[in-house]
Amino acid sequence: MTPENPDFHAQHSPMGAHSSFTLGMHHANSGAVSEKGSVAEGATLVGYRTASGQYHYFPFFEKLESEKDRYVSDENAEILPDVIFSKENIEREYLWATDKFSAPGIQMEVISPFDSIPDPAQASDDEMRFATCPATLVRLTFDNQSSEDWQGFFALSPDTRWTALDSDNNRQVIGGVSRDQLAVATTDQEAKSFMDFTHDTALDPDHSRPHFLLGQTCGLEITVPAGEQKELVLCIAYYLENKATFNRSSKYYYTKLFTDIKHVINYAMTEQGRYFALAAKRDEELSLRTDLNDEQKFLIAHATRSYYGSTEFLIESDKPLWVVNEGEYLMMNTFDLTIDMLFFELKFNPWTVKNVLENFVSHYRYYDEVFSPENPEKLYPGGVSFAHDMGVANQFSPEPYSSYESSGLDRKCFSFMTYEQLCNWVLTAGVYLGQNKDTDFFTRHRGIFQDCLTSLLNRDNPDPAKRNGLMSFESSMTKGGGEITTYDSLDHSLGQSRNNIYLAGKAWASYLIIHDLFKGLDTKLSEEAFSAAQLTAKALCAGYDEDLGFIPAVLENDNKSAIIPAIEALVYPWEFGSKEYCSEDGPFAQYIKVLKRHFNNIHNTDACLYPDGAWKLSSTADNSWMSKISICQYVAREILKIDLKDASAQADLAHARWQREGAKYHACSDQFTSGQAIGSLYYPRIVSNILWLKETC
């Protein structure tokens, strides 16, 4: 897995610390920072200085802040030009948990081991400590084949000030810490720490103080004698000890397990062997998948890194609290992301899915009324739904409101997503139950599922006789406006909720999951749900336009958009375990056949492919979400059994280039216009591509 172009940023994050060490793009800022939805402002200086005074670096800085000319010790000495490794000299191996950079004389591995975060209700403190340690290990290898000694170095230079962790009397931990919350450190006793204005005022000092505290640069150095190899393992550690969230008070879970940042450093360094082994295991797992091409492996590894950067594992009144931040937007547990990240979380730590679902039930659930857009004044019974998110920038929003949704908007960005989030709760909870025997969860939330069915039906039409299987009524939360979907910045083809076939698919899946869950428990309800699914499927089949060759995105106003996500929701009954609903021979055979025709007819450059083979979710909008493409690829290939042939690999390359070229600064993004990242930057949601690992075709 050697990307064709090594010049792109990647996040490297411990699990649940909402912190990232981001680097990889050349001549761009880089560094480590917590709770920021974008790349740290600063520089990462990694390289070596020859005894004769020449510096060699990876290009992990925007501009070289060097004061060498001013500080070089011997004023008569010739100043040798810097060597900044060029793209041609850098090799990058991008594995699932290891990001390895090689250049002449130096190799750097940034290691991001990940695994299940054990359920805190069942795991020991030791297990939790290993899972939550808020540090990222970096392994540097210097290979000095020259005839003079080198100083190998690694330094960060953000806009902060540092305190030395080591002193002449105590070299247990060597490195620097800023405000007790960010550290660059090692326990390798051969290393020396430095703090100064720049790395070269430290390595070519005009003074004799290794820790000059006015400087913003903090690093480690190690002597690499001529002709020798040296390895230096260091870590970047984080520790936010205070209240992490506002309006509801919580702290990072790791504060329960680590007393302070020194504890984190010591632990990470001591356990480095286990962490390296875990990373190697993950690396191998993905590498060995011969059924996936390298671009798919790249996309999975890239998405995984970006996901962990947004994760925030907290503790609130002694109870675990799982938050995934919405990348650059910093919204907390955005529900239309939760559902797409579901497959990843179910694979690694299903308890986080349950945690988020129950948080929505207890804090961000509401009951509304509904109205027909023709007569917004007349309100009918609506039902339950859930907020779009739980707040922003670690500030919980007033319950039960999201930070995002605003009333008074008619099918525009920031309107309510009542119908979509209603489906999302049913589908997320359903798939969770489908894959986990958690009867307690079902028992406690049985009433919610019932409420959800009522709510779904009322949004079709409060009058049962007038239902057609599609959403036609808007939530009173919009105050006369109109709901939107997660595709909030798209045109109506995917942006508006009512009569939308993407959402109709989610409703169909929701009905079926309710049907299955209540089978044998409440036959009437179960049957009612099944009938609703049939009605929806029927409406969608009827919507198929033989002239167009697809189901138009919105079944009203003569809409003619073709959208790929018509097929998206097949993933839910499939992952729930009721694959028969997705079969051409099953109870929804006609619907499945129609969807297959729909997809086959739009999977071309006239409708839903870009010229380079990348997927365009809607034929009428140049705005495509990578996370959603990933799901739809899985649905097309694995569920609908469509053989995409070479087009599939072509799309993978195009999508990988979206990330490496179009989002090279943003370390994995979701929303692209013609291959350029335009929003949803630094995003967690793309881990929906974990589904590819389940493909059997």
Indicate whether 636 belongs to the interface with a second copy (CB under 8 A). no
User: 85-89: long-range contacts (C-beta < 8 A, 24 or more apart)?
Assistant: 85/56, 85/57, 85/58, 85/59, 86/59, 87/5, 87/6, 87/7, 87/26
Indicate whether 180 belongs to the interface with a second copy (CB under 8 A). yes
Q: What are phi and psi of 52, to 5 degrees?
A: -80, 0
By CB under 8 A, which span of 76-84, 156-164, 491-499, 608-616 interacts with a second copy? 156-164
Indicate whether 163 belongs to the interface with a second copy (CB under 8 A). yes
Indicate whether 379 belongs to the interface with a second copy (CB under 8 A). no
Rounded to a whole number, what is the distance in angstroms from the first to the last CA of the chain? 22
Q: Which of 54, 127, 161, 650 binds a second copy (CB under 8 A)?
A: 161
List all residues 6 or more positions away from 331 whose beta carbon is below 8 Å from its beta carbon: 325, 388, 389, 390, 391, 392, 402, 403, 404
Place of tokens 């996309």: 299
Q: Is 110 helix (H, G, I), strand (E, B) or coil?
A: strand
Indicate whether 647 belongs to the interface with a second copy (CB under 8 A). no
Q: Which of 76, 208, 317, 439 binds a second copy (CB under 8 A)?
A: 208
Q: Measured in whole angstroms, how far is the alpha carbon of residue 671 from the centre of its chain? A: 13
Indicate whether 171 belongs to the interface with a second copy (CB under 8 A). no
Compute how many residues bind a second copy; rule: CB under 8 A. Answer: 44
The one-character DSSP state at 560 is -
Nearest-angstrom CA–CA distance, 666 and 650:
23
Indicate whether 412 belongs to the interface with a second copy (CB under 8 A). yes
Q: Which is nearer to a second copy, 178 or 633 (CB)?
A: 178
Query: How far is residue 242 from each of residues 675, 683, 686, measured CA to CA in Å?
Result: 40, 25, 30
Q: Which is nearer to a second copy, 247 or 676 (CB)?
A: 247
- Chain positions 456 to 495 lying near a second copy, rule: CB under 8 A, are 479, 481
The binding track of 308-347 with respect to a second copy, each residue x by CB under 8 A or -, is ---------------------xxx----------------
Beta-strand relationship, 83-84 and 55-57: parallel
- Chain positions 227 to 266 lying near a second copy, rule: CB under 8 A, are 241-243, 246-247
Indicate whether 206 belongs to the interface with a second copy (CB under 8 A). yes
Q: Measured in whole angstroms, how far is the alpha carbon of residue 495 from the centre of its chain? A: 22
Indicate whether 303 belongs to the interface with a second copy (CB under 8 A). no
- The full 3-state SS of 151-178, as one line of letters, equals EEEEEECCCCCCEECCCCCCCCCEEEEE
Helical (H) or strand (E) element with 362: helix 350-363
Indicate whether 398 belongs to the interface with a second copy (CB under 8 A). yes
What is the nearest approach in angstroms of a second copy to the Cβ of residue 405?
8
Indicate whether 624 belongs to the interface with a second copy (CB under 8 A). no
Place of tokens 């009542």: 418
Q: Which of 366, 414, 441, 665 binds a second copy (CB under 8 A)?
A: 414
370 bridge partner residues = 380, 475
The one-character DSSP state at 504 is H
By CB under 8 A, which span of 48-56, 209-217, 560-568, 659-667 interacts with a second copy? 209-217
Q: Is 564 helix (H, G, I), strand (E, B) or coil?
A: helix
Indicate whether 87 belongs to the interface with a second copy (CB under 8 A). no
Indicate whether 394 belongs to the interface with a second copy (CB under 8 A). yes
Indicate whether 395 belongs to the interface with a second copy (CB under 8 A). yes
By CB under 8 A, which span of 162-170, 316-324, 444-452, 543-551 interacts with a second copy? 162-170
What is the nearest approach in angstroms of a second copy to the Cβ of residue 392?
5
What is the nearest approach in angstroms of a second copy to the Cβ of residue 507?
26
What is the nearest approach in angstroms of a second copy to the Cβ of residue 171?
14
By CB under 8 A, which span of 154-162, 369-377, 560-568, 667-675 interacts with a second copy? 154-162
By CB under 8 A, which span of 308-316, 397-405, 458-466, 570-578 interacts with a second copy? 397-405
323 bridge partner residues = 312
By CB under 8 A, which span of 174-182, 272-280, 336-344, 569-577 interacts with a second copy? 174-182
Neighbours of 318 (CB within 10 A): 7
What is the nearest approach in angstroms of a second copy to the Cβ of residue 331?
8
Q: Is 356 helix (H, G, I), strand (E, B) or coil?
A: helix
What is the nearest approach in angstroms of a second copy to the Cβ of residue 169?
10
- The amino acid that residue 269 corresponds to is M
Indicate whether 403 belongs to the interface with a second copy (CB under 8 A). yes
- Chain positions 658 to 697 lying near a second copy, rule: CB under 8 A, are none
Q: What are the tokens at 264?
A: 């984190």
Asked if 229 contacts 144 with a C-beta cutoff of 8 angstroms, the reply is yes
Indicate whether 162 belongs to the interface with a second copy (CB under 8 A). yes
List all residues 6 or more positions away from 1 whose beta carbon is below 8 Å from its beta carbon: 93, 94, 95, 286, 287, 294, 297, 298, 301
Q: What are phi and psi of 251, to 5 degrees?
A: -130, 165
Q: Which is nearer to a second copy, 260 or 580 (CB)?
A: 260
Q: Which of 213, 226, 521, 542 binds a second copy (CB under 8 A)?
A: 213
What is the nearest approach in angstroms of a second copy to the Cβ of residue 310?
16
Q: Is 24 helix (H, G, I), strand (E, B) or coil?
A: coil
The alpha carbons of the chain give a radius of gyration, in whole angstroms, of 27
Indicate whether 146 belongs to the interface with a second copy (CB under 8 A). no
Indicate whether 70 belongs to the interface with a second copy (CB under 8 A). no
By CB under 8 A, which span of 15-23, 275-283, 290-298, 391-399 interacts with a second copy? 391-399
By CB under 8 A, which span of 346-354, 371-379, 395-403, 488-496 interacts with a second copy? 395-403
Indicate whether 172 belongs to the interface with a second copy (CB under 8 A). no
User: 532-535: long-range contacts (C-beta < 8 A, 24 or more apart)?
Assistant: 532/453, 532/456, 532/457, 532/460, 532/467, 532/469, 532/507, 533/508, 533/588, 534/469, 535/460, 535/467, 535/468, 535/469
- Chain positions 553 to 582 lying near a second copy, rule: CB under 8 A, are none
Indicate whether 404 belongs to the interface with a second copy (CB under 8 A). yes
Indicate whether 499 belongs to the interface with a second copy (CB under 8 A). no
Point out which residues bind a second copy (CB under 8 A): 160-164, 167, 178-180, 205-209, 211-214, 241-243, 246-247, 329-331, 391-395, 397-398, 403-404, 406-409, 412, 414-415, 479, 481
